[in-house]
């Protein structure tokens, strides 16, 4: 067994590295994932993890990175102050570099606030990737966060007979003890999504009336 003392500096550096890697990974996944209305409705997942789980990992990784950064400053405060004080005069000789880097910083901030090109093309690309997950109309919920409303309210909105809907869902193997249960809770009883629940009872919706001849 090693008698080497615990190294807070090494531990802090490793935490910073791990959190940085996780931030890069989760940031990329959150960039390409479908919009929330689709992700929650279809119970979208990537490598077995759902949208909220990836979001939680991203937040926790950011928190770890901030904490590790704070300890990094603590362990290196004196060397950092000494280094900076010795570099102030040297930095003044790089006025062009300082001005250009400051302008880049302002450019990023302003572009983010007012969605200015060409940086807005990055967010536009993300929107395109997010929308590409929707390959059919069935993947879109009938209304926002439909999976979170109760079966009673959902059936009322979609004009589906509630008693028939409950019977169909029970016949399909879902646990529906009350009409006040949400679609996502019904879906969880069979390991599916709100979309999966809707597919069972969608046939009970009233058919759209055929247009009369001569009407527009």
**Could you read off the pLDDT of 153-169 as tens digits, one per residue?**
999 999 999 999 999 99
What are the tens digits of pLDDT across the range 97-151? 778 888 999 999 999 999 999 999 999 999 999 999 999 988 999 998 999 999 9
> What is the token pair recorded at 30?
């959150």
Q: Where are the domains of the chain?
A: 8-131, 141-204
Contact residues for 194 (Cβ-Cβ < 8 A; gap 6+)? 40, 41, 42, 43, 141, 146, 147, 183, 184, 187
Buried b (16+ CB within 10 A) or exposed e, 52-81: eebbebbeebeebbeebeebbeebeeeeee
Q: What is the pTM of this model?
A: 0.81
> Cα–Cα distance between 140 and 126 in angstroms, integer?
18
């Amino acid at each position: 067994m090693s008698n080497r003392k615990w190294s807070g500096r090494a531990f802090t550096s490793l935490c910073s590295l791990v959190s940085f890697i996780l931030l890069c990974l989760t940031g990329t996944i959150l960039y390409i994932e479908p919009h929330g209305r689709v992700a929650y409705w279809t119970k979208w997942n990537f490598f077995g993890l759902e949208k909220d789980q990836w979001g939680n990992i991203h937040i926790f990784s950011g928190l770890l990175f901030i904490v590790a950064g704070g300890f990094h400053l603590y362990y290196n405060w004196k060397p950092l102050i000494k280094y900076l004080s010795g570099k102030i005069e040297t930095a003044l000789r790089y006025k062009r570099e300082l001005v250009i880097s400051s302008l880049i910083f302002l450019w990023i901030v302003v572009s983010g606030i007012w969605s200015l090109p060409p940086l807005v093309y990055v967010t536009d690309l993300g929107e395109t990737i997010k929308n590409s997950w929707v390959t059919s109309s069935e993947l879109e919920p009938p209304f926002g966060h439909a999976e979170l409303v109760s079966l009673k309210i959902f059936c009322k909105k979609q004009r589906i007979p509630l008693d028939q809907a409950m019977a169909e869902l029970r016949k399909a193997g879902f646990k529906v003890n009350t009409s006040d249960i949400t679609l996502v809770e019904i879906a969880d009883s069979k390991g599916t999504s709100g979309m999966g629940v809707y597919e069972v009872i969608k046939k009970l919706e009233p058919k759209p009336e055929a247009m009369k001849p001569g009407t527009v």
